[in-house]
Amino acid sequence: MTEPRRFPRRAVLGAAAATLAAPAIVGAKPASIVVASSGGKLEEAFTAAYYKPFTAKTGIQIITAVNTYSKLKATVDAGAVEWDVAQMDAAAAANSAKLGLLEKLDYAVIDRTDLVEGVPHEEYIPCDVAAAVMSWNTRNVAPAAAPQSWAELWDTKRFGGQRGFWKQPFQTMEIALMADGVAKDQLYPIDVERALRSLERIKPQIFWWTSGGQSAQILIDGDIAAGMSWNGRVFDPKQGGAPVDFSFNQALFVADAWVIPRGTKNRQAAMDFIAFTLQSGPQAEFAKAIPYGPVNRKALPLIDKPRLAFLPSSDENLPKGVLQNFDWWAQNGQKTGERFNSWMLG
Partner 1 sequence: MAGIGRAAKPWTLGRGYLLLLPLPCGFLAVFFVWPLLRVVLRSVLDPRPNFSNYAKVLGAGPYAHILLYTIEIAALVTAICLLLAYPVAALTARMRGGALQVMTGLIVASLWTSAVIRSYAWLILFQRYGVVNQALIALGLAGAPVRILQTTTAVAIGMVHVLLPFMLLPLIATMRRIDPTLLRAGRILGAAPVRLFLRVYLPLSLPGVNAGVALVFITSLGFFITPSLLGGGRTTMAAMIIEEEADTYLDWPLASAIATILLALTVVIYLAYGRLARVEVTRSLR
Taking the C-alpha atoms of residue 246 and residue 236, their distance in angstroms, rounded to an integer, is 12
Q: Does 341 bind partner 1 (CB under 8 A)?
A: yes
Between 69 and 188, name the residue whose CB sits nearer to partner 1: 69
Between 254 and 287, name the residue whose CB sits nearer to partner 1: 254
| C-alpha closest to that of 10 among 344, 261, 329 | 261
Between 37 and 96, name the residue whose CB sits nearer to partner 1: 96
Taking the C-alpha atoms of residue 313 and residue 304, their distance in angstroms, rounded to an integer, is 14
Q: Does 242 bind partner 1 (CB under 8 A)?
A: no
# binding residues, partner 1 (CB under 8 A)? 31
How far apart are CB 218 and partner 1 at their closest, in Å? Answer: 8
How far apart are CB 342 and partner 1 at their closest, in Å? Answer: 4
Q: Does 5 bind partner 1 (CB under 8 A)?
A: no
Q: Does 47 bind partner 1 (CB under 8 A)?
A: no
**Binding residue for partner 1 (CB under 8 A) from 48, 63, 99, 242?**
99
Q: Contact at 8 Å (CB) between 278 and 115? A: yes
Q: Contact at 8 Å (CB) between 253 and 131? A: yes
How far apart are CB 74 and partner 1 at their closest, in Å? Answer: 9
- Give every CB contact of residue 73 below 8 A, 6+ residues apart in sequence: 96, 99, 101
Q: Contact at 8 Å (CB) between 125 and 294? A: no
Between 239 and 334, name the residue whose CB sits nearer to partner 1: 334
**Binding residue for partner 1 (CB under 8 A) from 129, 146, 206, 244?**
206
Between 46 and 207, name the residue whose CB sits nearer to partner 1: 207
**Binding residue for partner 1 (CB under 8 A) from 6, 73, 267, 320?**
73
Between 186 and 210, name the residue whose CB sits nearer to partner 1: 210
Residues from 140 through 199 that contact partner 1 (CB under 8 A): 162, 167-168
Residue 177's φ and ψ, nearest 5 degrees, are: -70, -40
Q: Does 210 bind partner 1 (CB under 8 A)?
A: yes
Residue 38's φ and ψ, nearest 5 degrees, are: -80, 5
**Binding residue for partner 1 (CB under 8 A) from 154, 207, 235, 253?**
207
Part in contact with partner 1 (CB under 8 A); list of ranges 29-37, 113-121, 184-192, 338-346: 338-346
Part in contact with partner 1 (CB under 8 A); list of ranges 4-12, 44-52, 214-222, 259-267: 214-222
- Give every CB contact of residue 106 below 8 A, 6+ residues apart in sequence: 271
Taking the C-alpha atoms of residue 216 and residue 222, their distance in angstroms, rounded to an integer, is 10
Residue 86's φ and ψ, nearest 5 degrees, are: -135, 145
**Binding residue for partner 1 (CB under 8 A) from 38, 64, 156, 217?**
217
Part in contact with partner 1 (CB under 8 A); list of ranges 149-157, 220-228, 265-273, 317-325: 220-228
Between 214 and 279, name the residue whose CB sits nearer to partner 1: 214
Q: Does 223 bind partner 1 (CB under 8 A)?
A: yes
**Partners of residue 252 on adjacent β-strands:** 132, 322
Q: Does 334 bind partner 1 (CB under 8 A)?
A: yes
**Binding residue for partner 1 (CB under 8 A) from 12, 28, 68, 186?**
68
Residues near partner 1 (CB under 8 A): 1, 68-70, 73, 92, 95-96, 99, 162, 167-168, 203, 206-208, 210, 214, 217-218, 221-223, 333-334, 337-338, 341-342, 344-345
